[in-house]
């Protein structure tokens, strides 16, 4: 027992929120608490570039072996690693605004530029029966990888199913293709709402 709340998990020494978005791009957005304001988050889970890498492995976006090698690369280039984390967090904010329809010109441009740059960095690598797109294994790869998926989400059919949790101080995003989901998680926001409703009835 780690004594952590049920919506969090300890992964390789880093506390991370369990994925609830049903899409890794939305879970990326959900790596900070409280999107109702733009102040620094009450809880930020991507507290270092290494934590960002471990999160990528945790949600299945990058293989563990890649993450291992990138952690080694990052330890030799701490300044660049810090810059890459900063870029990822900036992209996360712009992307949130775009996904929730609150994008100003600036946030759309910001998100679009990152996605376009990521597209340009793909390399066509031959396989036995054709070829695949791959990104070079450097410190930019984690953000580029998410950016490419974000580009697919923004231009694909799933975009219509993105919902925002109405929980107090939440604003997390998730996919709701069947239109039946209200909360990011019953264990957190759903439960809090239930408790509040109960207290209101008891008054």
- Interface characters, 39-78, with Zn ion (x: CB under 5 A): ----------------------------------------
| Binding range to Zn ion, per CB under 5 A, among 35-43, 118-126, 141-149, 187-195 | 187-195
CB-wise, 96 or 172, nearer to Zn ion? 172
19 binds Zn ion (CB under 5 A): no
- Interface characters, 126-165, with Zn ion (x: CB under 5 A): ---------------------------------------x
189 binds Zn ion (CB under 5 A): yes
Please spell the DSSP secondary structure of 143-160, one letter per residue: HHHHHHHHHHHHHSGGGG
Identify which of 33, 35, 34 has the alpha carbon closest to the alpha carbon of residue 46. Answer: 33
CB-wise, 85 or 170, nearer to Zn ion? 170
63: alpha, beta or left, given left = phi > 0 and alpha = psi -120 to 50? beta
Strands 123-127 and 130-134: antiparallel
Q: How far apart, in whole angstroms, are the C-alpha atoms of residue 110 and residue 94? A: 6
The CB-based long-range contact list for 1-8 (8 Å cut-off, 24+ gap) reads 5/187, 5/188, 6/187, 7/185, 7/187, 7/188
When binding is defined by CB under 5 A, the residue of 88, 143, 147, 170 that contacts Zn ion is: 170
When binding is defined by CB under 5 A, the residue of 167, 173, 175, 181 that contacts Zn ion is: 167
Least separation in angstroms between residue 165's CB and Zn ion is 3
**Dihedral (CA of 39, 45, 50, 56) sign:** negative
SS3 for 72-87 is: HHHHHCHHHHHHHHHH
CB-wise, 33 or 48, nearer to Zn ion? 33
Least separation in angstroms between residue 162's CB and Zn ion is 14
Least separation in angstroms between residue 166's CB and Zn ion is 8
Two structure tokens written together for 155: 């231009």
Chain residues binding Zn ion by CB under 5 A are 165, 167, 170, 172, 184, 189
């Amino acid at each position: 027992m780690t004594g952590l709340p049920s919506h969090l998990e300890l992964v390789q020494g880093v506390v991370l929120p369990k994925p609830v978005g049903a899409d890794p791009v939305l879970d990326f957005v959900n790596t900070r608490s409280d999107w109702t304001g733009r102040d620094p988050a009450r809880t930020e889970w991507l507290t270092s570039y290494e934590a960002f890498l471990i999160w990528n492995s945790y949600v299945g976006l990058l293989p563990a072996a890649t993450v291992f090698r990138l952690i080694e690369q990052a330890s030799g280039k701490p300044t660049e690693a810090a810059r890459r984390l900063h870029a990822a967090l900036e992209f996360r904010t712009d992307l949130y605004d775009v996904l929730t329809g609150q994008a100003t010109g600036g946030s759309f441009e910001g998100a679009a530029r990152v996605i376009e740059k990521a597209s340009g960095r793909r390399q066509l690598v031959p396989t036995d029966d054709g070829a695949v797109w791959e990104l070079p294994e450097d410190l930019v790869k984690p953000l580029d990888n998410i950016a490419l998926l974000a580009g697919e989400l923004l231009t694909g059919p799933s975009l219509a199913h993105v919902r925002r949790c109405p929980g107090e101080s939440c604003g997390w995003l998730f996919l709701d293709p069947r239109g039946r989901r209200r909360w990011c998680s019953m264990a957190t926001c759903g439960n809090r709402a239930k408790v509040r409703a109960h207290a209101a009835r008891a008054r």
